[in-house]
Amino acid sequence: MNELRPVTAKEWPEFWSVLETAFHERPWPEGAEHFGRLVAPEETLAAFEDGRIVATSAAPVSELTVPGAVLPAACVTMVGVLPTHRRRGLLTAMMNGLLARSAETRAPLAVLWASEGPIYGRFGFGRATAAGRVSIRTRDATLVGGAPGSADGVMLQDAAAGHDEVAAVYEQVRPRWPGFLGRTDARWRDRLEDPEGRRRDNERPLRVARADGGYAIYSVAPDWSDDGPNGEITVRELIATGAEPYAALWRFLLGHDLVRRATWWLGPPDEPLGHMLTDPRAVRVERRDGLWLRILDVPAALTARTYATPLELALAVDGERWRLAADGDDRACERTDADADLALSIADLGAAYLGAPVLGPLAFAGRVHELTPGALARAAAAFATPREPWCPEVF
């Protein structure tokens, strides 16, 4: 590597081409322009050798919902290294550069989606949300009689018709659900754009179903077998402000003719649909890792979020000791010489930060160490949230 720096606007097409090669993607001629609307050249960090780009990365700053607050977070993305330049320390150099730059912008958090599980733990990232791959047998998925919501009020619109109505719903939910990200107009355009080159075989254009207080972005892939219709609905996103629009949207989606299954590749890990069905086995949720989070500023991050119960705790985080005290709106985190009550890594603190119920399992796995009896239970109760944190989009 001869140089590590952001790319210029002129170098952006080469940056995109290298990223496509690194991820073995099919060439998408419009991709450079499309993603150029989401990431500015100055938000990138690329490795150059003899004037050519050989590795790519970026970290635009967005808003991230945490329990009780919304904080700036560096969204690490587009990390790729050419196959000819692997195992040369390029990824490490780029990650260290991105995290240092993010800390300078005073973003207390960094987040990412990991292409491979073993990579990012060594940079202090922990698995902060889970994602649910939701699979539904539509023929067997009947909502119980007492379930709220009616499909009668659901309206359809073309995905390209605009995002004002769906964005209004999203903005009602976003401040209340840890893991949600802020969306610019460009990000909404990306969410609703439907270029044919990004579709699966025989997948039809995106549609938006709207209910009062909810929406679903979905597509249908028709199919036929010897036994008749065998189509599939793919849900890209389903957001609702409450149970009634949520149930109404599912009634609408599951009631499609000529369809036998519905799949949501990125649903919430605690998807409640099974509790509304006469046969809960009609829906299956496979948990996978979702958003990975790195705390860059421990005091800023821990005092920004709220806690479910009052808490006073001394934490040893990778050898540094912090006293965390939280009681309602009064929260403080400062260095301490006191003996620690819990010891854990910055990655495992990041895994628990958004409210995922992981402190107990991490302790059982030998990664979180209870040094004062009862400290683990108190911390787990205080960090908990009513719903599991969830990030509904990959960036």
What residues have CB less than 8 Å from 216, skipping those under 6 apart?
208, 209, 235, 237, 238, 249, 252, 253
The DSSP line for 48-84 is: EETTEEEEEEE--EEEEEETTEEEEEEEEEEEEE-GG
What residues have CB less than 8 Å from 330, skipping those under 6 apart?
none
Which of the following is catalytic: 120, 125, 170, 383?
Answer: 120
pLDDT tens-place values along the chain, 395 residues long: 799 999 999 999 999 999 999 999 887 888 889 899 999 999 999 999 999 999 999 999 999 999 999 999 999 999 999 999 999 999 999 999 999 999 888 899 999 999 999 999 999 999 999 999 999 999 999 999 766 777 788 999 888 787 899 999 999 999 999 999 999 999 999 999 877 666 777 788 899 999 999 999 999 999 988 888 989 999 999 999 999 999 999 999 999 999 999 999 999 999 999 999 999 999 999 999 999 999 999 999 999 999 999 999 999 999 999 999 999 999 999 999 999 999 999 999 999 999 999 999 999 999 999 999 999 999 999 999 999 999 999 99
Q: For residue 389, report the phi and psi dihedrals to the nearest 5 degrees.
A: -60, 150
CATH of 3-107, picked from 3.40.630.30, 2.60.40.420, 1.20.120.1150, 3.90.920.10, is 3.40.630.30
d(CA 251, CA 52): 53
Look at the pTM and tell me if it is higher than 0.85. Answer: yes
What is the SS3 assignment for 158? strand
- The confidence score (pLDDT) of residue 210 equals 96
d(CA 90, CA 82): 10
Active site residue 395: yes
- The confidence score (pLDDT) of residue 134 equals 98
* Domain chopping of the chain, boundaries: 3-107, 131-288, 297-383
Amino acid at 60: P
| Angular region, 276: left φ>0, alpha ψ -120 to 50, beta rest | alpha
Which of the following is catalytic: 15, 180, 215, 395?
Answer: 395
> Is domain 297-383 annotated with CATH 3.40.50.1000?
no
Query: 131-288 is classed in which CATH architecture?
Result: 3-Layer(aba) Sandwich (3.40)
Distances (CA, A) of 241 to 245, 320, 371: 7, 41, 41
**Structure-token match 């209910």, residue found:** 211
- Asked if 3-107 and 297-383 have one fold, the answer is no
